[in-house]
Structure formats: C-alpha cells, structure tokens
Amino acid sequence: MEAPRLAHAVGSPTSPCEEVIKNLSLEAIQLCERDGNKSQDSGIAEMEELPVPHNIKISNITCDSFKISWDMDSKSKDRITHYFIDLNKKENKNSNKFKHKDVPTKLVAKAVPLPMTVRGHWFLSPRTEYTVAVQTASKQVDGDYVVSEWSEIIEFCTADYSKVHLTQLLEKAEVIAGRMLKLSVFYRNQHKEYFDYIREHHGNAMQPSVKDNSGSHGSPISGKLEGIFFSCNTEFNTGKPPQDSPYGRYRFEIAAEKLFNPNTNLYFGDFYCMYTAYHYVILVVAPVGSPGDEFCKQRLPQLNIKDNKFLTCDEEDGVMVYRHAQDVILEVIYTDPVDLSLGTVAEITGHQLMSLSTANAKKDPSCKTCNISVGR
C-alpha cells in the first residue's frame, strides 16, 4: 500500500512541458528488499518488457533537491505510468531501512517528461552523499504495480546552503539579536604554546586556517573558508571581554578598528545552537578585495557595516564607535593574517569553561529558533 504523500516532483522547466503538472505527486511507499537488481515487493510483479532506465544523469543539485533523467528503450514505453526512485545515504546504500519513521528511501513519482526534479527536506540533507537507482512501473487497475529491473546505482552529493537559504537563517538570527552594546576590542584565546609557536614559526603573525565543521551542516564556509576566529562579546556590567574562556588561558586583544573598518566587508556566515538556550552567529570580516572577500562575495549575504543587527562600525562625533548584539554569541572570522605586534597577549584570570567550546560542534536540528525548512 502507498503511504501518505510526503514530497513532490515536477517536470523540468526547460522541457517542452514547462507547466507544472498539477496532479503530479511523489509519494512514499513501503520499502522492499532488493535481491540483486530486481524488486521482490509483495504485490509488485516483475515485467521484463518494461524498459530499464540506463545512463542516469543527475543535475541542478541543491542542498535539498536535484534533477534526474535517464535513457530508455522505446519498447513498451507507453505503458509506463510511474517511476520508482530508491534514494539512500551512501553509507547505507546496502541497507534498505528507514532512517526515521517519516523518512522514506523509496519514492514513487508519476511518469512525466524528463528531467524531473526531486525535492524534499524530509529526506535530503545538504552536503551529503547519496545513491540513487530507478525502476519504471505500470500501475494496474487493482492498485498493484508491474515493474522493470532496477537501473544501475548512481552516486551524487547534495550542495551547501545557497545565499537564499543563508538569508533565511540571517532573518531568524535578527529576531533574537537583542540590543547593541559598545565594544572596543576583538580578542582570541589560546594556550600559551599556540602563541609561542606563532612567534617561532610564523614570524609573529597568526595565520588563517580552514574553518571546522561546527554549526549548520549546510554552511558553505565549513571546511572551506580560511580565517582566524575572534570574539567580541562583552560583559553587560563591565563593557569588557569576559574573563572566562573555553579555548585557553592566554588572550590576544586587538583594537577593533585594526580589524573592522570601512576598508573591510562584513558577511553573515551561520546561525546555530548546540542544544542550549543561547545561540551563536558567525560573521566574516574580510579586507576589501582579499581572497577571503572574493570567497564570501559569491556565497554569503553581505551586511552593511554601519547598519545591521550583529556588529556595526560607524563614526560618531569624529570617532569610530563599535557595537555588538547583546543576545547572541558572535564568532568573528577574520580572513587575513594578523601580527601579534598589533595587539597584546596576556593571561586571563577566569576559568577555562570547556563546555562552551564550539570546536566541531553539532547544530541542534530540532531547534525552531535557528533551523530553516530545508535539509538539515
């Protein structure tokens, strides 16, 4: 029996049939055990003369959709009423089992001109490897199907969040950012050995490194953008950086204007939480025209440095004034090297709170505050 409808497929907008077919649906059906390349579903019979899809092509891949097409022999082509699509995460390609009670891996779509789009955030996640195989099928009057043999198995990987998706995250982050507080410095905490190494091996200059995989799974900066992490949040009662840190007891402080000024661009990178009440916003500060700036310009929403909800820099009475959002924890990535001589390094007096570390932290996929309606 077919389960309730969970997703939709549409014909390619470039195909002769450009109108979206209103009665087209993509429905979840009960999984079958695969024996070799043949279906053994109860109530589904094999029919050799139905054409077997071959030369599968995957295109137009996004974080939660893709287009699929294939070639077929013309024999019995007019008998095809549906396509069966078996979609699995690559690591589970030999195990046809539900990942979640509401997440199908077997889908059935009404036959439409190819290529067609498969989309659905319930079963597609960003930056994830999948396998896909296809059958052609003919629905009978009694509701059962006769099917072809399975096609070959094709592998593909979904994409990162697009600017559209990141803008949705940005809008959700703006809602909880809170009022703006003044700041005067950016700071970076590490162990003493880190700063000793920088002085000895890098000529006193901290070097950008590739961002880890913390935050949203679909973030386009994870594992790709090179930069140096800084913090800028201040304590409400003192207006100064907190004395506690999860990253080490030595702190490099640098005047805000030396990193963030009218010669830098500001980008929104991510919004996430780690099963906690507080939320993190990742911002990227990149010198205009730098490699980091060019990377972000293609992938991230750009913010007005004088007017945004997170981090601002503006001239007041002839002096540059800096402010940060009170109700989110800002993680600022600066994309160029930073010389230690531009600031100071000193030991902090507070505790090393490891529970606050965001290194490779996984985002809470159930949080309604910081998730958007696309694949996690």
Convert the pLDDT of each residue in 359-371 to its tens digit: 667 788 888 899 8
Residue 153 sits in the same domain as residue 167? no
Which one of 158, 193, 208 terminates a domain? 158
Domain CATH for 139: 2.60.40.10
Unique residue bearing structure tokens 């640098």: 254
Residue 209 sits in the same domain as residue 293? yes
Residue from 211, 214, 216, 254 nearest 229 by CA:
211
Confidence grade of residue 243 (pLDDT, cut at 50, 70, 90): confident
Which one of 111, 143, 158 terminates a domain? 158
Does 49 map to a domain?
no
Does 76 map to a domain?
yes
Q: What is the pLDDT of residues 319-335, one digit of tens each?
A: 999 999 999 999 999 99
Confidence grade of residue 136 (pLDDT, cut at 50, 70, 90): very high
Gap between the Cα atoms of 218 and 375, Å rounded: 8
Does 357 map to a domain?
no
- The whole-number pLDDT of residue 354 equals 54
Does 330 map to a domain?
yes
- The whole-number pLDDT of residue 109 equals 86
- The whole-number pLDDT of residue 34 equals 38
- Residue 78 lies in domain: 54-158
Q: Which two tokens stand for residue 82?
A: 């549906």
Residue 96 exposure: Cα atoms within 13 Å on the Cβ side:
19
Non-local (6+) Cβ contacts of 258 within 8 A are 342, 343
Mean pLDDT, range 17-35, rounded to an integer? 34
How many independent structural domains does the chain possess? 2
Mean pLDDT, range 57-66, rounded to an integer? 92
Residue 222 sits in the same domain as residue 269? yes
Mean pLDDT, range 338-351, rounded to an integer? 89
Unique residue bearing structure tokens 């809470």: 364
Confidence grade of residue 124 (pLDDT, cut at 50, 70, 90): confident
Does 27 map to a domain?
no
* Least confident stretch, 7-21, 233-247, 290-304, 342-356: 7-21
**Bridge partners, residue 35, by sequence:** 38
Residue 69 sits in the same domain as residue 136? yes
pLDDT of residue 38 exceeding 80: no
Q: Which two tokens stand for residue 117?
A: 């789009």
Q: Average pLDDT over the chain, rounded to whole? A: 81
Residue from 12, 311, 307, 299 nearest 160 by CA:
299
**Bridge partners, residue 320, by sequence:** 315
Residue 332 sits in the same domain as residue 189? yes
Q: What is the pLDDT of residues 150-195, one digit of tens each?
A: 999 999 999 999 999 999 999 999 999 999 999 999 999 999 999 9
Does 106 map to a domain?
yes
Confidence grade of residue 145 (pLDDT, cut at 50, 70, 90): confident
Residue 125 sits in the same domain as residue 71? yes
Burial 195-222 (b: 16+ CB within 10 A, else e): beebeeeeeeebebeebeebbbbbbbbb
C-alpha dihedral (244, 327, 226, 263), degrees to nearest 10:
-110
Residue 83 sits in the same domain as residue 99? yes
Residue 317 sits in the same domain as residue 183? yes
Residue 311 sits in the same domain as residue 178? yes
- The whole-number pLDDT of residue 350 equals 67
Q: Which two tokens stand for residue 294?
A: 């060019």
Gap between the Cα atoms of 134 and 195, Å rounded: 55
